[in-house]
Amino acid sequence: MSTLFPRSTDYNIQISEEHEAFRKVVREFAEKELAPLTAKIDRDNEMDMELVKKAGALGLFGVPFPEEYGGSNGDDLSLVLATEELARFSAAFSAVIGANYLVSVPLFLFGTPEQKTRFLVPIARGEKLGAHAMTEPGTGSDVAGISTTATKEGKNYVVNGKKMFITNGDKADTYLIFARTSAPEEGKRHRGVTAFIVEKGAPGLKVGQRINTIGLRGDQPVELIFENLEIPEENVVGELGRGVNVALSTYDHGRVGVAAQGTGLAQAALEAALNYSTQRQTFGEYLLTYQQVQFKIAEMAAAVQTARLLTYWAAALTKKGKDFIKASSIAKIAATEAAETNAHKAMLIMGANGVSAEMQVERILRDSQVIKTYEGTNDIQRLTIMKEIAKEMGVV
């Protein structure tokens, strides 16, 4: 996908009847099962785990994986459609499901056949939850800067360190942990990081405090503490010392899912503004008759459609096996920032009701701040886009 010399075929998005049928199934689940619980999940800051189990039974944890690994034999576009429908009502609920793919995708891409059978299959079937543990107190976007260590002792690795902001960390059965197995090479800081898979209950694995964030209430992240955590050498995922490659490949896929979350939130804000402006009257006229309201809603509709098309486009490139890294970064920026701006415009239309904690748009604005941050902040996405453009031009 060239920036300077694009091809028309790079922009071909094919959505099949199977895709649309799957979307309808997820939409029905979201409207009937999730929507009535959304306010309670946010208010209580606790996830409804019975609902998570229902989502697993529906096949939402294994959408893009082959049936032999417990999946639905779908693709990234199918997963994007599902995520958008869920996030339209609860970004927190969609995050519980999405975080599993940060474990299952690297297992599918880099795991051994034995690891796929043992760890991937139960996650894909919705029988177990996963958590991806990379971020540390002193690092964020700098994944090569982690200080958690894994020292080889016999046939095991002994892991010590701490992770922060781990989604699903308090709910997970299976963890993908990144630790340093050797010091970084000069000029190659990313070398020496290794990915490991470990299960809940392993001695030395402790769930620390919950971190209350501005959004995604109901799926708040936690810290993880490793104190002489022993992991057998057969639980190394991918090549020893090449864990950063595992992580970055995972994030390249995951960004499309975050873009889908942003699209769902932006759509929800648009619907809230439309519903309010067609019911609320002022000075004897419905709000929708005023031009300043019409302009805002038109801008919101344009933002939703832009976000949706870019997100589907990035997912379609993933399906075709083409270069989708730049596309997924573009989609994440556009969609997550559309969620923020649409929530703000909806608030302006709704006035005092818009800023009420009882109204949906207040939650959408809070959630938008989190999705702009994880899977690489939006400024990191801008750097990624520029890096890909530089490669195309032969600059790097």
Going by their DSSP bridges, the two strands 156-166 and 174-180 should be labelled as unpaired
Provide the pLDDT for residue 142.
Answer: 76
Q: What percent of the chain has pLDDT over 90?
A: 76
pLDDT, mean of residues 302-322: 90
Residue 286 CB neighbours (<10 A) = 14
pLDDT, mean of residues 301-309: 97
Query: Is the pLDDT score of 396 beyond 70?
Result: no
pLDDT range class, residue 185, cuts 50, 70, 90: confident
Q: Which two tokens stand for residue 312?
A: 């589907």
User: Which positions ≥6 away from 166 have C-beta within 8 Å?
Assistant: 131, 132, 133, 135, 221, 222, 223, 224
Going by their DSSP bridges, the two strands 281-282 and 285-286 should be labelled as antiparallel
Provide the pLDDT for residue 336.
Answer: 97
Enumerate domains of the chain plus CATH numbers.
Answer: 8-129 (1.10.540.10), 132-241 (2.40.110.10), 245-393 (1.20.140.10)
Query: Is the pLDDT score of 310 beyond 90?
Result: yes
Query: Is the pLDDT score of 184 beyond 90?
Result: no
Provide the pLDDT for residue 282.
Answer: 84
pLDDT in tens, 323-352: 788 999 999 999 999 999 999 999 999 998
pLDDT, mean of residues 53-62: 95
Q: What does the longest C-alpha to C-alpha distance in the chain come to?
A: 80
Query: Is the pLDDT score of 154 beyond 70?
Result: yes
Residue 109 CB neighbours (<10 A) = 13
Provide the pLDDT for residue 322.
Answer: 66
User: What is the rounded distance in angstroms from the CA atom of residue 258 to the CA atom of residue 31?
Assistant: 21
Provide the pLDDT for residue 139.
Answer: 80
HSE, side-chain direction, 13 A CA sphere, residue 202: 26
Give the lowest-confidence range in 81-85, 244-248, 274-278, 389-393: 389-393
Query: Is the pLDDT score of 382 beyond 80?
Result: yes
Active site residues: 375
Query: Is the pLDDT score of 372 beyond 80?
Result: yes
pLDDT in tens, 263-291: 999 999 999 999 999 998 888 889 899 99
CA-based nearest residue to 164, from 122, 195, 135: 135
pLDDT in tens, 77-97: 999 999 999 999 999 999 999
pLDDT range class, residue 60, cuts 50, 70, 90: very high
Provide the pLDDT for residue 93.
Answer: 97
CA-based nearest residue to 148, from 235, 224, 256: 224
User: Which positions ≥6 away from 93 have C-beta within 8 Å?
Assistant: 34, 38, 41, 47, 51, 52, 55, 86, 218, 219
Cα 364 to Cα 21, 174, 219, 355, 373: the distances in Å are 27, 30, 15, 11, 15
